[in-house]
Chains A and B, each alone.
Chain A
Amino acid sequence: MTALVLGTPWGEVPDLLLPALGETALMVGIVMAIVVALGLPLGLLIFNTSPGGLAPNRTVNASISWIANLGRSLPFLVLMAAIIPFTRFVVGTTIGIQAAIIPMSLAGIAFFARLVENAVREIPPELLDVGLATGGSRWQIVRSIQLVEALPALAAALTLNVIAMIEYSAIAGAIGAGGLGYLAVNYGYQQFDDNIMISCIVLLVVLVQVIQFTGDRVVRVLSH
């Protein structure tokens, strides 16, 4: 088994790498869709129930804030292990991409909710007054002022979140979730396949750089 010692020949690396990249993209894509769908409203709710928000409510704010903190207080690996029963209940399995999506989404939602809250908090408070004074309903103000003015900050938050999810997807590789993390751990680490290890590292670094660069560009275009 020379391959074990020498590593996968370079010519065969893309055959392993590209499907793994596809799996990572799929995992992160699905998770981000869930994260935005649930984390955005949650973040808006946290801000708007806080004292400077449109519907201050101490009890509601404290409760959802506590839940969001819970999702962020555990290291991802611990969270993943801790919610295995829940994961099995929801998707019926504890390994593979489906199983990884559950803990990734939970951690991602909690993270994104905080980022959204901070982004909306940056909006000058007078702008909410403008909305109220000109006869806007709270829902209209959320859509026409909060989401519009916070858009650059939300794009930055999204970038940060995607990168965090790529990192989590690599950790989820440990439970056989597939993707670049799985490849790096199984071939690179456990089978001492240096070629795969190096390729995975380079690909992850390039991926993160490209996403950050693109995100920064988008933020610049959105800010006037």
Chain B
Amino acid sequence: MIEISGLTKSYGATTVLDGIDFRVDDAQIAAIVGPSGAGKSTLARCINLLERPTTGTITVDDRELTSLSRRDLRDARRQIGTVFQSASLLRRLTAAQNVALPLRYLGLSDAELRLRVRDLLDRVGMLHRANHYPAQLSGGQRQRIGIARGLALQPSVLLSDEATSGLDPDATRSILDLLTGLRDDLGVTILVITHEMDVVRTVADVVAHLDHGRIVESGAVADVVRRSDSTLSRALLPLPPAPAEDTLRTWRLRYAADAIDPRWLARAGRELGTDIAVLAALVEEAGHEQVGRLTVGVDAGLDDRRVAEAFARQGIRAARATDGDVELDEQAIA
């Protein structure tokens, strides 16, 4: 469990994080997204106290970190595994020696250490590269070694800052499988920082959108994707652009497939006494749910409120599409 409350971080006059409140429950994967410079890495560094928060508290598994002594903090940090951007491996140590580093700090015996390192390398599928130096590994392999090192002390919390950025889709996929495995098998609480919406869509349980040091939107991914009027939901599941029609007014609709009657389109049309034009439509899985998204055209003569209510009665969230919001979609966040 990670609980961040009232977190502010300033460097001199510049405030990088501004009143962050955020909570990640046990065995959940939370994703932090946001534009470059939003403060994502700073947030991660505040959680393991590599940066000392200016104000606010960080609680990890019922232990408040900002008030700990240096010695206690070292101990608390062992509960928090960190996977650094571009792995940050020691160049002069082999993969196995890199993974062993936190265990050596802990003072484990050589025999015990070898056993644990074997296990860890096996878990990330890197046993066959144990004696390779980082320069002899691919980016994806280095990242796996970084994850193995982050897991060495069997932490209850894992922080990952852009662990998949710059990796090809296959490598990304296998790292994400690894993360979900950790959550499901070991109950690890994971915070991933990413600018890839695919990552959020496939592994995250909750998501927060950080912008200029503030969380501007957050929630369970399953809820967020059903919001019809949110930047985050549009970034997560962008719709293809729909052709404009003069006599039609464009609406964006969202629904969870299991919460509606399949005949909703015909029923809404009948209620409004008009034919609804489907301009674009997608059904996708996100946050473990089938989410349908449509862009539809409705007779411009109808009252907006009446249209929205007719859709709402079918369990559909509807919002008027405004000009240009299609382009806004993905780059608004990434």
Contacts and interface: CB of A to CB of B under 8 A. Distances in A.
Interface of A: 124, 126-127, 129-137, 140, 144-145, 148-149, 151-152, 222-224
Contacts of B212: none
Contact of B91 (A136, A144, A149): A149
B92 A135 contact: no
B82 interface: yes
Contacts of B104: 140, 144
B84 A224 contact: no
Contacts of A126: 84-86, 88
B90 A134 contact: no
Given A132-B50, A134-B153, A148 B90 contact: yes
Interface of B: 45, 48, 50, 74-75, 77-78, 80, 82, 84-86, 88, 90-93, 101-102, 104-106, 133-135, 149, 152-153
B90 to A, nearest CB: 6
A126 B48 CA distance: 14
B78 to A, nearest CB: 4
Contacts of A130: 82, 84, 88, 90, 101, 149
B88 A132 contact: no
Contacts of A131: 101, 105
Nearest to A125: B88
Contacts of A145: 90
Contacts of B149: 130, 134
B120 to A, nearest CB: 13
Contacts of A132: 50, 77
Given A126-B84, A129-B50, A144-B104, A135 B153 contact: yes
A127 B90 contact: yes
A134 B92 contact: no
A137 B92 CA distance: 20
Given A129-B50, A132-B50, A137 B90 contact: no
Given A130-B88, A136-B105, 5 more contacts: A130-B84, A131-B101, A132-B50, A135-B77, A151-B92
17 contacts: A126-B84, A126-B88, A127-B90, A129-B84, A130-B101, A130-B149, A134-B77, A134-B78, A135-B75, A135-B153, A144-B105, A148-B92, A148-B93, A152-B92, A223-B91, A224-B91, A224-B92
B65 to A, nearest CB: 12
A133 B92 contact: no
Nearest to A140: B105
B133 A135 contact: no
Contacts of B88: 124, 126-127, 129-130
B38 to A, nearest CB: 20
Nearest to A148: B92
Contact of A135 (B84, B86, B105): B105
A148 B152 CA distance: 20
Contacts of A136: 74, 101-102, 105
Contact of B92 (A129, A140, A149): A149
Nearest to B86: A126
Contacts of B48: 133
A149 B93 CA distance: 9
A44 to B, nearest CB: 17
Contacts of B82: 129-130, 133-134
B108 to A, nearest CB: 12
Contacts of A144: 101, 104-105
Contacts of B74: 135-137
Contacts of B90: 127, 130, 145, 148-149
B246 to A, nearest CB: 56
A129 B159 CA distance: 13
B106 A135 contact: yes
List the 10 closest pairs (A to B, CB-CB), nearest first. A134-B102, A224-B133, A126-B88, A135-B78, A133-B82, A136-B105, A135-B74, A135-B77, A133-B48, A130-B88
Contacts of B93: 148
A223 to B, nearest CB: 8
A132 B105 CA distance: 10
Nearest to B152: A134
A148 B133 CA distance: 14
B160 to A, nearest CB: 12
Contacts of B102: 134-136
B236 to A, nearest CB: 30
A175 B106 CA distance: 54
A145 B149 CA distance: 15
B101 A134 contact: yes
Nearest to A130: B88
A224 to B, nearest CB: 4
Contacts of B85: 126
Contacts of A224: 91-92, 133-135
A134 B151 CA distance: 10
Contacts of A148: 90, 92-93
Centre residue among B75, B90, B135, B153 by max chain A CB count within 10 A: B90
